[in-house]
Amino acid sequence: MAKSTKEIQAEITNKIVESLKAGTIPWRKPWSSSPNCGSPANVVSGKRYRGINPLILELHRQTHNFTNKWYATFNQWRDLGASVMKRPDNVKPGEWGTGIIYYAPIKKTKEDPKTGEEIEVEFAMLKQYTVFSAEQVELPDHLRHLVDVEPETTNDEFVDFAPAEIAIAATEADIRFGGDRCFYRPATDHIQMVPKHRFEHEKEFYSTALHELSHWSEKRCDWTGNYAEGELRAEIAAAFMCSELEIPQSDDLSNVNAYLQNWLKALKDDPRFIFKASTAASKAADFVLSFSRKEEPVSV
C-alpha cells in the first residue's frame, strides 16, 4: 500500500530530526570532489536531485560511508545493464536503498462554495521512489567510469603557510591524506584529510585541519560532551587558532558562523551554550598550539 503524503513527510522529518540530534550536518564541505562525487544526481538524466532529496541522499551516503554522487532506481540500473547488490546482513531491511521524493503539481477543477462557479486549484502530489548508489551496484564495463573517484586538481598553486604548517606538524598527530572526507577517528587516533589541492583556498584547508585537531585534543584534554557540543567546540577552536596563527583570510567568519548556526539548531537553539563552547574551545586551542608556541617573555 502506497504511503500517504503525510506519512512520507513525517518519515523524512523524523530522519532529519534524528540526524541533527546525532550531530550530522551534511551541508558543509569546503573542498572539491572528483567528477563522481558532489551533489547527488540521477545517473540516467544527469540532473541533480532537488528539494529535500539532496539532504536525504547525503544522509544515506554518510550512513553507508559512500562518496559517489550517482543514484538511480532498481529498474533504472537494470535497464543500464547493471544490477543492485544484495543487501548485506549488517544492514536492516529497508535501509539498503533510500527513499526520495518526486513532486508533481496536480491541477483539478472544483466548485467554489461561495459562487458555485468552477475554479481550478493546484495541489502537490508526492511520490516516493527507492534509489541506490553506484557503490551499491555491480556495473558492466561500459559503466565502470561511474565509480572512478580520482581527485580533480583545483588548486595547483596551493601555498603552504609556514606558521600553520609548523603548528600542525609540532603536534605529531597521525594525519593521513586521501579520500573524499575529513574526520578524526578515535578508534585509530588518526585524522583523515582530503588532499590540499582539492581545497579552493588555503584558509579552508588549515581551518579544517585545525578543526580535526580540536577533535584529536578531546581525550587529551579530558573533555567530555556530546557530539553536537564537540562540533561547536572544534569549529570555534579552529577559528581561534586561525586568528592566532594569522592565517590569510582568517577574519572571514562567514563559513564558521553558518556552521555554528546549524549546530546551535541541533542543540535546540540554546544561545547560552555558545559561551560554554567558547570556554572549551579556548582550552582546545591552547592545547593544540602548546606544541609550537614560543614562551612569552616574563615581564619585570
Q: pLDDT digit of tens for each residue in the chain (300 aa)?
A: 666 545 554 554 455 445 445 554 444 566 665 677 777 899 999 988 888 888 888 888 878 878 788 999 999 999 999 999 999 998 888 889 999 988 777 777 777 777 778 777 777 677 889 999 999 999 998 898 888 655 454 677 788 999 999 999 999 999 988 777 789 999 899 999 888 888 878 888 999 999 999 999 999 999 988 877 888 889 888 888 887 888 887 666 656 655 666 666 656 655 566 667 778 888 999 999 999 987 654 444
Position 297 in a domain: no
Query: What is the three-state SS of 65-105?
Result: CCCCCEEEEHHHHHHCCCEECCCCCCCCCCCCCEEEEEEEE
166 with 220, same domain: the answer is yes
pLDDT attached to residue 65 = 79
Residue 220: predicted pLDDT: 96
Q: Are residues 138 and 166 in the same domain?
A: no
Going 90 to 92 to 95 to 96, the CA torsion angle's sign is positive
Same domain, 101 and 183: no
Q: Are residues 127 and 252 in the same domain?
A: no
Based on the domain organization, do 15 and 117 belong to the same domain? yes
Q: Is residue 300 part of a domain?
A: no
Among 122, 147, 172, give the residue marking a domain's end: 147
With respect to residue 224, please indicate whether it lies within any of the assigned structural domains. Answer: yes
Residue 76 is assigned to a structural domain of this protein: yes
- Assess whether 12 and 108 both reside in one domain: yes
Q: Tell me the torsion sign for CA atoms 193, 196, 198, 202.
A: positive
**Separation of CA 217 from chain center:** 22
Q: What pLDDT score does 190 carry?
A: 93
Question: Does residue 299 sit within a domain?
Answer: no
171 and 143 belong to one structural domain: no
Which of 83, 113, 147 lies at the terminal end of a domain, its last residue? 147
CATH of the domain at 211: 3.30.2010
Do residues 48 and 138 share a domain?
yes
Provide the number of structural domains found in the chain: 2
Examine the domain organization and report whether 176 and 272 are in the same domain.
yes
Domain of residue 180, residue span: 162-289
The per-residue pLDDT for 214 is 96
Residue at which a domain ends, from 83, 117, 147: 147
Count CA within 13 A, CB hemisphere, residue 143.
16
Same domain, 96 and 215: no
Q: Are 213 and 191 in contact (CB under 8 A)?
A: yes
Do residues 11 and 130 both lie within one domain? yes
266 found inside a domain:
yes
Are residues 167 and 292 in contact, defined by beta-carbon separation less than 8 angstroms? yes
> Is 120 inside any structural domain?
yes
Asked whether residue 138 falls in the same domain as residue 171, the answer is: no
CA 71 to CA 44: how far, in whole Å?
A: 9
As a whole number of angstroms, the distance between CA 85 and CA 139 comes to 10
Residue 71, in any domain of the structure: yes
Query: What is the per-residue pLDDT for 34?
Result: 67
